[in-house]
Amino acid sequence: MRDEIIAWRHVFKLDPDRFISDEDLDQICMSGTDAIMIGGSSGVTYDNTVDLMSRVRRYELPCVLEVSDLEAVVPGFDLYMIPLVLNTEDSRWMIGQHVQAIEQYSHLIPWELIVPEGYIVLHADSTVARLTGALTELEADRAAAYAQAAEHLLRLPIVYIEYSGRFGDMELVADIRRVTREARVFYGGGITDAETARLAASHCDTIIVGNSLYSDLKQALTTVAAVKG
Ligand SMILES: CC(C)=CCC/C(C)=C/CC/C(C)=C/CC/C(C)=C/CC/C(C)=C/CC/C(C)=C/CC/C(C)=C/COP(=O)(O)OP(=O)(O)O
Ligand SMILES: O=P(O)(O)OC[C@@H](O)CO
Ligand SMILES: [Mg+2]
């Protein structure tokens, strides 16, 4: 399953802390997206994660958990995506929480299902930026340097350019893609329709669509065909 990520062009990210009806979830899971990622940066609990996972599990597509809180680690996902925030000086979000998690879960960790992601958080006015104290005001060169550090020093398989809540600077995304060889470049933030999906997808390997599922589902669904044809 870890190798299948290479083929992902489109992922919907569902937030356990937000309501989604069965009808809407059906359209999302039947949309042709490559995977459902479950995660959020606040309000994620064991109960709301189990609930959402069991509803998504009725469908055949891959369902992965993006771990943001140790209280909400639920068995039964296809993969566990582990964010490491690169552009913060608060080491808890880079490695501290991770070490605590490894100590706590120890031999229970299914390492073959673990996929680390090097996050570059770029939207200052987002929950994740505030939570992690991310240094969001990066020039493109510096952002590209973070991506190279992720790939060559840390050997991370994914560089995740995170603009959660707003559409990002596509030149910066293109600069990161240009310097990245092995790592997959994920882009998320402000993709609301076919046009933004196509534009973002032209500069990265995989697009992630989250908030627009909750604000305008019809438009959000058009992002799938836009990138997967
Ligand atoms: C079954 C089993 C035992 C599985 C093992 C899983 C496990 C325990 C593995 C251990 C290994 C490990 C290293 C775990 C890491 C634990 C951990 C808590 C790490 C911290 C991760 C982190 C840096 C979190 C910060 C927040 C963040 C980057 C979240 C990612 C998701 C995100 C950005 C969502 C967007 O948020 P949203 O709420 O949508 O934002 P908006 O308000 O802007 O919409
Ligand atoms: O919610 P949006 O802005 O679509 O961003 C998607 C994802 O990158 C959030 O972690
Ligand atoms: Mg969100």
Q: Distance between CA 118 and CA 145 in Å, rounded?
A: 12
Res. 228 pLDDT band, cuts 50 70 90: very high
pLDDT in tens, 178-207: 999 999 999 999 999 999 999 999 999 999
Task: Give Cβ neighbours of residue 96 (< 8 Å, ≥ 6 apart).
Answer: none
Q: Distance between CA 31 and CA 149 in Å, rounded?
A: 35
Q: Which ligand is nearest to the CA of 68?
A: 1
- Nearest-CA residue for ligand 1 atom 9 is 109
Choice from 49, 68, 87, 97 to test ligand 1 binding pocket (greatest atom count within 8 A of CB) = 68
Q: Distance between CA 194 and CA 200 in Å, rounded?
A: 10
Q: Is the pLDDT of residue 119 over 80?
A: yes
Which pLDDT belongs to residue 148? 98
Task: Give Cβ neighbours of residue 137 (< 8 Å, ≥ 6 apart).
Answer: 124
Res. 229 pLDDT band, cuts 50 70 90: confident
Judge whether 1 and 202 are in contact, CB under 8 Å: no
Q: Distance between CA 139 and CA 78 in Å, rounded?
A: 36
Q: How far is the CA of 20 from the centre of ligand 3 (A)?
A: 13
CATH code for the part of the protein at 2-228: 3.20.20.390
**Strands 63-66, 206-209: parallel, antiparallel or unpaired by DSSP?**
unpaired
Q: Is the pLDDT of residue 41 over 90?
A: no
pLDDT in tens, 131-177: 999 999 999 999 999 999 999 999 999 999 999 999 999 999 999 99
Q: Which residues pair with 119 in a beta bridge?
A: 85, 160
Q: Distance between CA 180 and CA 34 in Å, rounded?
A: 22
pTM of the model: 0.97
Q: Which atom of ligand 2 is nearest to the CA of 166?
A: 3
Determine the 3-state secondary structure of 167 from DSSP: coil
Q: Which run of H or E residues covers position 36?
A: strand 35-38
Among residues of the chain, what percentage have pLDDT more than 70? 100
Q: Distance between CA 56 and CA 226 in Å, rounded?
A: 23
Which pLDDT belongs to residue 2? 84
Pocket of ligand 2 (CB under 6 A): 13, 162, 164-165, 188-191, 208-212
Q: Which residues pair with 207 in a beta bridge?
A: 10, 187
Q: Distance between CA 126 and CA 166 in Å, rounded?
A: 9
Choice from 85, 128, 191, 214 to test ligand 2 binding pocket (greatest atom count within 8 A of CB) = 191
Over range 21-37, report the average pLDDT. Answer: 98
